[in-house]
């Protein structure tokens, strides 16, 4: 089944048509910068441009940087606060004419990793974390998602973990890989103590540099990089739409 997967991020809105049976992209990924401010009107207009770019008239899965409950945006991370309380799927469907399903962006990436990537052979508890502008998380047990975990907000040194350990903090503070890797290790040890996962998958753009900081990780749980990299959100958004039966 072919579904248009869209990944809404803080800096870019990306999309491609996905073969949900194989996880392969059937088109080149197309990216449009995220509008500033990222209001509902501006983001939906950008999504419409992506739909037109692919001349698409079928179902759309959309990964979104927010907690999503029954298609309604409940938080706003790297998007405008005016999104909160909006039934985004309904608004996107109205603007594009395409049946749409919304899912948290890291939950979407998790679907891709569990189906086609680093977690496909693990049926226990899998913790997926994406280090980027903030820290996004997803938890799967026996391939089933616990949606909308916000574990980038647990406290470290009196502040949110993502304000201490996100990749954006590494860049802003110009941290070397050892210093940052030890912060990541501290964060993941806290997760290990809380959830005792069987596997931890590290995603986000920094996963491409996994070998730079992995020597500083010292956990009981195996830690491996995500396999789908920048395509994970797109693939997973399409899979999420398939799972809810969009046609």
pTM: 0.94
| Fold held by 119-226 | Nucleotidyltransferase; domain 5 (3.30.420)
Cβ–Cβ under 8 Å, residues 121 and 103: no
Q: Which of the following CATH numbers is that of domain 2-107+231-243: 1.10.1740.10, 2.120.10.30, 3.30.365.10, 3.30.420.40?
A: 3.30.420.40
- Do the first three CATH levels of 2-107+231-243 and 119-226 match, i.e. the same topology? yes
**Is a pLDDT exceeding 80 seen at residue 78?**
no
pLDDT in tens, 14-49: 999 999 999 999 999 999 999 999 999 999 999 999
pLDDT in tens, 84-141: 999 999 999 999 999 999 999 999 999 999 999 999 999 999 999 999 888 999 999 9
Taking the C-alpha atoms of residue 7 and residue 225, their distance in angstroms, rounded to an integer, is 20
Taking the C-alpha atoms of residue 98 and residue 69, their distance in angstroms, rounded to an integer, is 20
**Is a pLDDT exceeding 80 seen at residue 77?**
no
pLDDT at 214: 98
pLDDT at 205: 84
Q: So where are the chain's domains?
A: 2-107+231-243, 119-226
Interacting residues of 190 by C-beta distance below 8 A, sequence separation 6+: 154, 156, 161
**Is a pLDDT exceeding 90 seen at residue 179?**
yes
Burial of 21 (C-beta count, 10 Å sphere; 0-12/13-18/19+): exposed
Share of the chain above pLDDT 70, in %: 100
Q: Which two tokens stand for residue 241?
A: 């739409």
90-94, 153-157, 209-213, 228-232: range with lowest mean pLDDT: 228-232
Look at the block and give the residue holding tokens 């179902």: 59
pLDDT at 69: 97
Q: What is the mean pLDDT of the chain?
A: 96
């Amino acid at each position: 089944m072919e579904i248009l997967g869209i990944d809404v991020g803080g800096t870019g809105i990306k999309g491609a048509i996905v073969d949900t049976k194989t996880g392969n992209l059937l088109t080149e990924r197309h990216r449009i910068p995220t509008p500033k401010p990222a209001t509902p009107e501006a983001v939906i207009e950008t999504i419409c441009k992506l739909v037109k770019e692919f001349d698409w008239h079928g179902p759309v899965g959309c990964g979104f940087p927010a907690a999503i409950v029954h298609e309604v945006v409940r938080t706003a991370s790297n998007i405008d606060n005016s999104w909160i309380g909006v039934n985004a799927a309904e608004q996107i469907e109205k603007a594009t004419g395409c049946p749409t399903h919304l899912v948290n962006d890291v939950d979407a990436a998790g679907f891709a990793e569990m189906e086609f990537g680093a977690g496909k052979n693990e049926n226990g508890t899998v913790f997926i974390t994406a280090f980027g502008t903030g820290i996004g998380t997803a938890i799967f047990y026996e391939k089933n998602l616990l949606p909308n975990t916000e574990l980038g907000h647990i406290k470290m040194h009196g502040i949110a973990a993502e304000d201490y350990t996100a990749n954006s903090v590494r860049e802003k503070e110009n941290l070397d890989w050892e210093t940052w890797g030890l912060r990541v290790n501290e964060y993941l040890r806290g997760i290990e103590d809380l959830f005792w996962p069987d596997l931890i998958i590290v995603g986000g753009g920094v996963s491409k540099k996994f070998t730079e900081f992995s020597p500083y990780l010292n956990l009981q749980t195996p830690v491996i990089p995500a396999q789908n990299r920048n395509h994970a959100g797109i693939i997973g958004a399409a899979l999420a739409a398939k799972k809810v039966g969009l046609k």
